[in-house]
Chain A
Amino acid sequence: MGKIPTSRRDFLKAAGISSLGLAVGISGFTKDASLKKITPAVLRLEINPFIIIDTSGGITLVNPRPDMGQGSTQAVPSLLAEELEVSLDKVLIVQSDGMGKYGSQTSGGSSSVRGLWMPIRKAGAAAREMLTTTAAKRWNVALSECTAADGKIWHKASGRSLSYSELADEASKLEIPKEPKLKDPKDFKIIGKYNKRLDVPERVTGKAVYGIDVDVPGMVYAAIVHSPMIHGKVASIEDTEAKKVKGVLQVIKTERTMPHRTSEAVAVVATNWWAALKGKRALKVNWDNADYAKTVDTASYFAATYEAAKKEGVNFEEKGDFTVKYANAKEKLESHYETPFLAHAPIEPENAVVHVKDDGTVEIWAPVQGPDWAMRDVCGYLKVKPEQVKINVTLLGGAFGRKAYHDFLLEACHISKELKRPVKVIWTREDDITQGPYRPGMLSHMQGFVQDGKIAGFHHHAIGESIVGQVFKGLKEDEADPWLSEEISTANNKYEFAGASKVSWTHVKTDIPVVWWRSVYASNFGWGQECFIDELAHLAQKDPLKARLEILPDERFKKVLDTLAEKANWDEKLPAGSGRGMAVFKSFGSISACCITVSKKDAGVKIDKVVSVIDCGYYVNPDNVKAQTEGNIVMGITAAIKDGITFSNGVCDQTNYHQFNVMRLNEAPPMEIHIIDSGAVPGGVGEPGLPPIAPALGNAIFAATGKRLRKLPFDINNIT
């Protein structure tokens, strides 16, 4: 294990680059990102080399978004390859290592293409311009006569060409253009086109390396006994039997550091993980559980949310005087919609390899969504500087938000520091499911009224634990969760209610750890918002889709709903016992709508078909948009009809996939996805498909059976 590559030569070596030709860096990942030329001298100075065109023909891109299956290792280089006029397979990708110079590096909030769309394209266009200028000079021809294509600059008139590698060195002497000319989208050859993902072959041959696959010399393995009530303290450890297990080396007290608090744990360290697991099973730990049997509990938490629904919340926004108008309204409704706590349960459980070395440096190999956040957390935890830490980000075997919460990584840091050797921590599935953090369970208290046959009044009172409040300790007592704006504000959902509307919030706290889960609160509040709109549409005796169109003047929303109506044959009559339901929700900059068709079967219903429509603005690969939306359909239905997470007397009732079931292949319904080419700024793709799924299903069940479901999850085979 070498030193941390801070020098230019080390970086180049680590990236497998023999010689630095033209390198372009980006600072400030915004629309106005500025570009910086990277010379050997500045490379040594912590400036971010994002693109390197070396003199042997290689093009390297530092990818600041780890790939957890969402396709960032294709999407990000596509932006570069497009502007640079090279094919995708010419771009070598190096995963960023969490150093501050690479800016924001967290895969989350469906941000990869949204955040990098302009900066990476600009950098590619700048490099193209510099290479073209260099070639024109060398040939002594007008710049306008030279074009870039296939990794070369061409002079059509004379049939001459020069490869980028031949030009890179000289090009690097030019000034970086401040406003390079971006390609016209109509000339795109890669962006928006079907391209196979180049990382697929390694994922079908078993060669892809995930965190759990990393081995380093001298490594030992640890299995962890976590507190069953999550926050309990270790009262005593009985480790005689555990230590008898062959291969077990040590039993040590350790700790699980979550962003908001630290809990105690015990690690069984062994020469292999099976021995560590056997040791864990043989270990007896007695816990001092304080009052956690009461505070780590879902029934009392939900009881508190229903209590809170009886009182006024904190106003997030109000248009018109909703309270008065609602009180005076003749046709009105009030409902409560509940969503459960959910585990992310990626098939690759949490794991990390960490080596805290004698010289104070740290090396990490881990499946983390955010190398920059991991860097911050590790530095804060071990009290070291970023220069002392090397993070090797591996592939992620699914994450869905879970692997941006670095408790498992800090646990490995703690154990390695204690043992003074590299250690691989692997959580069991039981650790993953019983320990959290989870998507918070939420209650939507809905009120609404109808006027002149239109949905005219709408109040969404969002109630529950706040991620901002718990994880970031960033919510004041009298403050509404600011993340509501991205989810259920009228600025986001674009509904225009002629009477009045209101969004309010009540914070109900819990000791159950919570965090973002695919599409964050939208996965909760979409259920309340879109089922309640459906209820109000029926109250107004309107078709639910048309009732929405009446209050959705926004052109993009309209187009999405019209497309859905057409593709799902919304107006076609269904036989008795069948029904269609729809929902629309905007999250992370993209609008997604879904229509689900169900039919009665025995005591329940069967899902016959799912049609999803998404307008995510410009997108990179239509097939990946489809794949992500398919994933959202499966995860969204799972969240509606499979298991939620419950805690009784402080302990999680679910332990593994037999109690926390997720959808299986035989249950996956036929699905169809349509993408709208709106040409709007890129929105997210990884999450927006999910929020409309559960409400579309609930509304379909109402259409087929007359039964209005308001609590997730429900048993689809038993709709009573």
Chain B
Amino acid sequence: MAVYNLSLNGKKVKVDVEPDMPLLWVIRDFADLKGTKFGCGMALCGACTIHLNGQPTRACQTPVSSVGRNDKITTIEGIADGKMSIIQKAWIEEQVPQCGYCQSGQIMSAAALLKSNPSPSDSDIDAAMSGNLCRCGTYDRIRKAIHRASAEMKVADKGIGQR
């Protein structure tokens, strides 16, 4: 076992775990944040998507030992400082989730996309979102929600229609 100091959703977290433990299980079972999900353990489904220094990252494939104390880890719980982000609101407007299990990962991928590309085209969305499986089949709504969030962000940026 080894002690790791992590920066998780802006908070310092200290865990004593095996070096090869994926961040997924550290976050879920040692930092007790259950919003990040396990789906495949092989970087195939995206349910475990988090942000590592702003980059969408599969937590199931990220050993805790590879994360430095200054690396910023953000999970679904930290994405909007407890407030609903524009993206989450768009997800509600479009009534995206069915079972909802994949949606933390979907939203994390979408948030990273919109940050780097505030006006994504359909093919940008395809490229950014195809690593996230949804067995319930909510893809059509995910696409709509991303377009909606993109539009809302522009409105917010212009300072009109503050919500």
Contact = CB atoms under 8 A, between A and B. Distances in A.
Interface residues of B, number: 60
A197 B98 CA distance: 10
B44 interface: yes
A657 B1 CA distance: 31
Interface in B113-159: 125-127, 129-143
B17 to A, nearest CB: 8
B104 A206 contact: yes
A484 to B, nearest CB: 27
B77 interface: yes
A141 interface: no
Contacts of A67: 99
Contact of A664 (B32, B100, B130): B130
Nearest to A657: B44
A45 B133 CA distance: 47
B54 interface: no
Contacts of A634: 134, 136-137, 139
Contacts of B133: 347, 657, 662, 664
B79 to A, nearest CB: 9
A635 B76 contact: no
A69 B101 CA distance: 9
Given A348-B39, A630-B137, A275 B143 contact: no
A663 B25 contact: no
Interface residues of A, number: 65
B75 interface: yes
Contact of A206 (B33, B42, B126): B33
Secondary structure type dominating chain A contacts? loop
Interface string A337-362: 00000000111110000000000000
A662 B91 contact: no
B102 interface: yes
A346 B101 CA distance: 9
A212 B133 CA distance: 18
* Most chain B CB atoms below 10 A, which of A205, A627, A635: A205
A157 to B, nearest CB: 41
Contacts of A209: 34
B101 A398 contact: yes
A200 B91 contact: yes
B39 A349 contact: yes
Nearest to B90: A204
A204 B18 contact: no
Interface string A98-125: 0000000000000000000000000000
Nearest to B142: A665
B58 interface: no
Interface string B62-93: 00000000000001110000001000100110
B25 A348 contact: no
A274 interface: yes
A429 B135 contact: no
Interface in B26-53: 28-30, 32-42, 44-45, 47
Given A206-B77, A665-B132, A200 B95 contact: yes
A206 B91 contact: no
A349 B98 contact: no
B13 to A, nearest CB: 16
Contact of B88 (A204, A272, A623): A204
A204 B42 contact: no
B105 to A, nearest CB: 9
A247 interface: yes
A400 B98 CA distance: 12
A635 B42 contact: no
* Most chain A CB atoms below 10 A, which of B20, B99, B143: B99
Given A196-B92, A205-B77, A208-B100, A348 B29 contact: no
A347 B34 contact: no
Given A398-B136, A632-B137, A658-B42, A197 B95 contact: yes
Interface string A195-215: 011011111111111101101
A397 B77 CA distance: 18
A202 B75 CA distance: 15
Contacts of A666: 126-127, 129-130
A233 to B, nearest CB: 28
B22 interface: yes
A395 interface: yes
Contact of B25 (A274, A665, A667): A274
Contacts of B107: 204
A162 interface: no
A627 B134 CA distance: 13
Contact of A204 (B1, B97, B140): B97
A665 B129 contact: yes
B96 interface: yes
Nearest to A399: B99
A347 B37 contact: yes
A456 interface: no
Interface in A659-685: 662-668, 670-671
Given A200-B97, A627-B141, A634-B137, A347 B102 contact: yes
A665 B130 contact: yes
B139 A429 contact: no
Nearest to B129: A665
A138 interface: no
Contacts of B92: 196, 200-201, 204
Given A196-B92, A274-B29, 11 more contacts: A69-B136, A200-B100, A206-B33, A206-B34, A206-B35, A206-B36, A206-B77, A277-B41, A347-B134, A635-B135, A664-B139
6 contacts: A273-B29, A274-B18, A274-B25, A277-B41, A429-B40, A634-B139
